[in-house]
């Protein structure tokens, strides 16, 4: 529940600190006093849009802070907080600020969080129902979710969602494979022709680099042969070749070592290594010289190979380096024709199997929805006489959707239907009910939905608009009963509703030093009687109005 609220510099509110109790509380006041400002401030705490226009004139920034106390924290809220490493036990403090530059900050128990996360958290803190907030329930697209939330068959709904994702993903893969096979069949003649060309040429990985290197070698073969010959001569020339000089040096060191007990063994090893390397160099140069070819036919062969590779690359709008991959891709496309049919048949079987699993899960969920729809409709019907709608009927229609509209919510279409008079057919809620009837239907819906909701605070903003007299008395009675289960805050202009509240707050607007400010205070019993009398009679409060207010309070 919302335990306390602190507001600073929001429109007409300079400074306001409020404490709230559990049960049914009413906020009243003259039109324009600032009740909407209070609701907008609460809305900031659950992630609703903030605008710099909300900052009080002459101030740099606004701030709103709310303390929420929980008896049984919602499982979803606890999971969300664990996921984002947010700490709380039974109390949450949300603070939000906004400056003139449009920069805002949000804190969860002094931990900074994002607006996106605040919106997710806010779904577990407060439900705000405005007089125009019924549009969601009037939209048939929301009715399935409303029914599911009431039925609380989460496991079955999760199974439907999982099985639909499996079916959808496999079906998409099947359609893609089918398209690839059809595309391959349309191009089969071209594919076979292209593959023949590739098979004749057989492009290989890194072939271009190797061919160009070989071509450079052949084009400079005479120069390379000359350089190799010069290297041979340097190592083998007489009378003083490099190898002969190393042998002479090695012999001299051997004689020296004999005189000093191998003192110069390290020098001997270095010369020995150099001699071995020189011998190996001679062998490799000799072999390299033997491999050099001056055959013009070899150059012509490489030039022809390069020409064929580059022509094939131009034909397929690619590079020579990519030709092996293109060859592989073309082979895979042709394989779709020869082997794809078997793959497609296997995949189609998997699609059929997952579709059966989905249909089975969806039909099970449908049966639960039908059962819940009947129970929910009966409960709403039982509420209607108390709301002075004895002749009205409410029904929840659950019907099958076309297969092309199946989704992760199942195969059902849900719509709330009403009949307000005997003998009239059932029709969509938003087209059959009048303004006053609509408000009462909505209240009946929300009272019953609250029984399965784990949200501990519900705010109603003038949902009793369009009703009065005994009907308003009945609305107040329903709100009071709802307040026995959850914290209910109601903004109202109805004296019949206000009279049944456990706590009554009055919103007032004053002018001080040329500045308009909004205040809110909790009324005692006498002040509550006076406020209800004002709501009955207007600005001039008569004794008769006070007496009528007392009667309403006594009956509340």
Tell me, yes or no, whether 239 and 320 share the same domain: yes
Q: How do residues 173-224 score in pLDDT, each as one tens digit?
A: 999 888 887 877 777 778 888 889 898 888 888 888 888 777 777 777 677 7
Query: 109's torsion region: left (phi>0), alpha (psi -120 to 50) or beta?
Result: left
Tell me, yes or no, whether 474 and 541 share the same domain: no
Under 8 Å between Cβ of 475 and 497 = yes
Tell me, yes or no, whether 319 and 205 share the same domain: yes
pLDDT band at 436; cut points 50, 70, 90: low
Task: Flag whether 101 is in a domain.
Answer: yes
**pLDDT of residue 132 exceeding 60:** no
Tell me, yes or no, whether 517 and 531 share the same domain: no
Q: What is the pLDDT of residue 93?
A: 95
Task: Flag whether 4 is in a domain.
Answer: yes
**pLDDT of residue 120 exceeding 70:** yes
Residues 443-456, buried b or exposed e (16+ Cβ, 10 A)? bbbbbbbeeebebb
Domain boundary among 338, 368, 392: 338
Task: Flag whether 59 is in a domain.
Answer: yes
Tell me, yes or no, whether 217 and 332 share the same domain: yes
Burial class of residue 66 in the structure, from the number of CB atoms within 10 Å of its CB (0-12 exposed, 13-18 middle, 19+ buried) = buried
Domain boundary among 290, 322, 338: 338
Task: Flag whether 553 is in a domain.
Answer: yes
Under 8 Å between Cβ of 440 and 389 = yes
Residues 150-185, buried b or exposed e (16+ Cβ, 10 A)? bbebeebbebbbebbebbbebbeebeebeebbeebe
Task: Flag whether 308 is in a domain.
Answer: yes
pLDDT band at 97; cut points 50, 70, 90: very high
Mean pLDDT of 439-461: 77
Q: How do residues 517-556 score in pLDDT, each as one tens digit?
A: 888 889 999 999 999 999 888 778 888 889 989 988 887 6
Tell me, yes or no, whether 73 and 212 share the same domain: no
Domain boundary among 338, 370, 397: 338
Tell me, yes or no, whether 115 and 213 share the same domain: no
Q: What is the pLDDT of residue 63?
A: 95
The CATH number linked to 21 is: 3.40.50.300
Task: Flag whether 291 is in a domain.
Answer: yes
Contacts of 193 (CB under 8 A, 6+ apart): none
3-state class of 313 per DSSP? Answer: helix
Entry pTM: 0.61
**pLDDT of residue 131 exceeding 80:** no
Domain of residue 265, residue span: 188-338
Task: Flag whether 182 is in a domain.
Answer: no
Counted domains in the chain: 3
Tell me, yes or no, whether 201 and 323 share the same domain: yes
Task: Flag whether 396 is in a domain.
Answer: no
Please give, one letter per residue, the 3-state secondary structure of 270-311.
Answer: HHHHHHHHHHHHHHHHHHHHHHCCCCHHHHHHHHHHHHHHHH
Tell me, yes or no, whether 201 and 309 share the same domain: yes
Tell me, yes or no, whether 194 and 333 share the same domain: yes
Tell me, yes or no, whether 76 and 194 share the same domain: no
Tell me, yes or no, whether 270 and 304 share the same domain: yes
């Amino acid at each position: 529940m919302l335990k306390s609220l602190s507001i600073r510099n929001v429109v007409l509110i300079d400074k306001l600190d409020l404490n709230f109790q559990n049960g049914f509380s009413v906020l009243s006041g003259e039109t324009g006093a600032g009740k909407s400002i209070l609701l907008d401030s609460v809305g900031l705490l659950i992630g609703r849009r903030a605008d710099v226009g909300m900052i009080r004139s002459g101030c740099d920034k606004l701030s709103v802070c709310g303390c929420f106390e929980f008896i049984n924290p919602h499982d979803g809220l606890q999971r969300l907080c664990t996921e984002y490493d947010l700490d709380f036990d039974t109390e949450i403090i949300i603070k939000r600020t906004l400056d003139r530059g449009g920069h805002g900050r949000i804190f969860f128990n002094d931990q900074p969080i994002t607006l996106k996360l605040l919106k997710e958290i806010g779904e577990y803190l407060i439900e705000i129902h405005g007089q125009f907030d019924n549009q969601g329930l009037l939209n048939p697209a929301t009715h399935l979710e409303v029914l599911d939330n009431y039925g609380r068959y989460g496991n079955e709904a999760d199974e439907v969602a999982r099985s639909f994702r499996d079916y959808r993903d496999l079906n998409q893969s099947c359609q893609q494979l089918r398209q690839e096979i059809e595309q391959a069949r349309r191009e089969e003649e071209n594919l076979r022709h292209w593959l023949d060309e590739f098979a004749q040429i057989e492009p290989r990985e890194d072939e271009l680099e190797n061919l160009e290197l070989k071509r450079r070698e052949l084009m400079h073969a005479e120069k390379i042969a000359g350089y190799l010959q010069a290297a041979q001569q340097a190592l083998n020339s007489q009378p003083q070749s490099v190898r002969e000089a190393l042998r002479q040096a090695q012999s001299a060191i051997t004689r020296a070592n004999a005189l000093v007990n191998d003192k110069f063994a390290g020098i001997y090893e270095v010369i020995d290594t150099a001699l071995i390397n020189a011998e190996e160099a001679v062998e490799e140069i000799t072999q390299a010289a033997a491999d050099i070819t001056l055959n013009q036919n070899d150059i012509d062969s490489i030039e022809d190979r390069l020409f064929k590779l580059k022509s094939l690359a131009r034909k397929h709008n690619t590079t020579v380096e990519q030709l092996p991959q293109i060859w592989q891709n073309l082979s895979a496309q042709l394989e779709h024709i020869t082997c794809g049919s078997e793959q497609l048949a296997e995949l189609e079987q998997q699609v059929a199997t997952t579709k059966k699993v989905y249909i089975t899960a969806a039909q099970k969920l449908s049966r639960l929805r039908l059962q819940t729809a009947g129970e929910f409709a009966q409960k709403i019907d039982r509420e209607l006489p108390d709301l002075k709608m004895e002749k009205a009927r409410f029904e929840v229609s659950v019907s099958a959707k076309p297969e092309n509209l199946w989704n992760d919510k199942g195969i059902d279409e849900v719509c709330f239907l009403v009949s307000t008079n005997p003998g009239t057919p059932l029709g969509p809620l938003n087209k059959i009910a009048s303004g006053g009837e609509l408000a009462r239907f909505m209240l009946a819906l929300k009272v019953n939905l609250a029984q399965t909701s784990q949200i501990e605070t519900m705010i109603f903003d003038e949902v009793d608009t369009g009703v009065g007299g005994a009907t308003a008395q009945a609305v107040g009675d329903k709100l009071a009963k709802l307040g026995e289960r959850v914290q209910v805050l109601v903004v109202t202009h109805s004296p019949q509703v206000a009279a049944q509240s456990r706590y009554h707050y009055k919103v007032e607007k004053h002018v001080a030093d040329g500045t308009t400010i909004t205040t809110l205070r909790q009324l005692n019993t006498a002040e509550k009687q006076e406020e209800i009398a004002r709501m009955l009679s207007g600005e001039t409060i008569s004794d008769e109005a006070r007496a009528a207010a007392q009667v309403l309070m006594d009956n509340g």
